[in-house]
């Protein structure tokens, strides 16, 4: 088999949470461009429908199933609808995350803590377990957890977010260790400074942006599409011997 063919995802079915925009949408498009049938998911069905229509216009195969990943019943419904649409699941990308408060730990309420743990960590745990029987049945499943460099090296004001992303990294490694015997691979991508709506408060800060350009080896903020190639690798046969990996795509952030 040629290396080029290793990246083909023809016939594969992928769920991508938080995929109405940003990194999630970029990864979804990347998987679809390599042949996967994709399930876009976020809280807003109308926004999802717009994105699916655009993907279809581009000749890609996609459906949209809304899901608030913080809601247990909606998580179950997402898996049910995916099976109804495609009959199987090969790839799960746990991308959805929140960071509603930028503040120090002592100012964080228990409500904010619980909400962030539920969306950023518990949802990934539960969705992975819900997908497990289908990934196991295919004997070639791939879970991609979107963590963050904040889970490896915390920044001021992002404490709870960092905690959830660090825990997601460990969840990835436990999944890889326990589920490898079932042909399931699990890997984590840790993006750095990416130009998304989620991080707009950071990249719209001129002082911080200047600091990034001066200190970051790459000297710039990345675009969401720059995360898609790594996801395609991890989802495809090209990454068939890769599991339990923690991959930074951060422009050199971990070096400074």
Q: How far is CA 27 from the centre of its chain?
A: 8
d(CA 44, CA 56): 19
Tokens of residue 115, six digits? 């909400």
DSSP-derived letter for residue 184 is: E
Could you give the C-alpha distances from 106 to 10, 21, 149, 150, in angstroms and in order? Answer: 49, 32, 22, 18
| 57, HSE (Cβ side, Cα atoms, 13 Å) | 6
Please, are residues 231 and 93 in contact by the beta-carbon 8 Å criterion? yes
Q: CB burial class (10 A; 0-12, 13-18, 19+) of residue 241?
A: exposed
H helices of 195-254, in order, are: 200-203, 206-215, 228-235
d(CA 32, CA 51): 13
3-state SS, residue 44 = coil
3-state SS, residue 150 = helix
Catalytic residue among 102, 113, 134, 161: 161
Residues in the chain: 256
161 belongs to the catalytic site: yes
Please, are residues 92 and 135 in contact by the beta-carbon 8 Å criterion? yes
Query: Which active-site residues does the annotation give?
Result: 161
């Amino acid at each position: 088999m040629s290396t080029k063919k290793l990246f083909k995802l023809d016939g594969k079915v992928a769920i991508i949470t938080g995929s109405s925009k940003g990194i999630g949408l970029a990864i979804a498009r990347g998987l679809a461009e390599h042949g996967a049938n994709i399930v876009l998911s976020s809280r807003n069905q109308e926004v999802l429908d717009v994105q699916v229509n655009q993907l279809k216009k581009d000749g890609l195969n996609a459906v949209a199933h809304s899901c608030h990943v913080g809601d247990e019943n909606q998580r179950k419904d997402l898996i049910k609808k995916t099976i109804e649409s495609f009959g199987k699941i090969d790839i799960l990308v746990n991308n959805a995350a929140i960071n509603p408060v930028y503040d120090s730990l002592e100012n964080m309420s228990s409500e904010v803590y619980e909400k962030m743990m539920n969306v950023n960590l518990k949802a990934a745990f539960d969705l992975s377990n819900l997908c497990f029987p289908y990934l196991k049945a295919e004997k070639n499943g791939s879970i991609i957890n979107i963590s963050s460099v904040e889970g490896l090296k915390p920044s001021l004001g992002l404490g709870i977010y960092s905690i959830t992303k660090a825990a997601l990294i460990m969840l990835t490694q436990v999944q890889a260790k326990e589920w490898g015997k079932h042909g399931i691979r699990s890997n984590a991508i840790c993006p750095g400074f990416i130009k998304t709506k989620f991080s707009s408060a950071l990249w719209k800060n001129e002082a911080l942006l200047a600091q990034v350009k001066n200190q970051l080896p790459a000297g710039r903020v990345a675009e969401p599409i720059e995360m898609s190639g790594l996801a395609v690798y991890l989802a495809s046969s090209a990454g068939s011997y890769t599991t339990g990996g923690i991959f930074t795509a951060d422009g050199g952030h971990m070096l400074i």
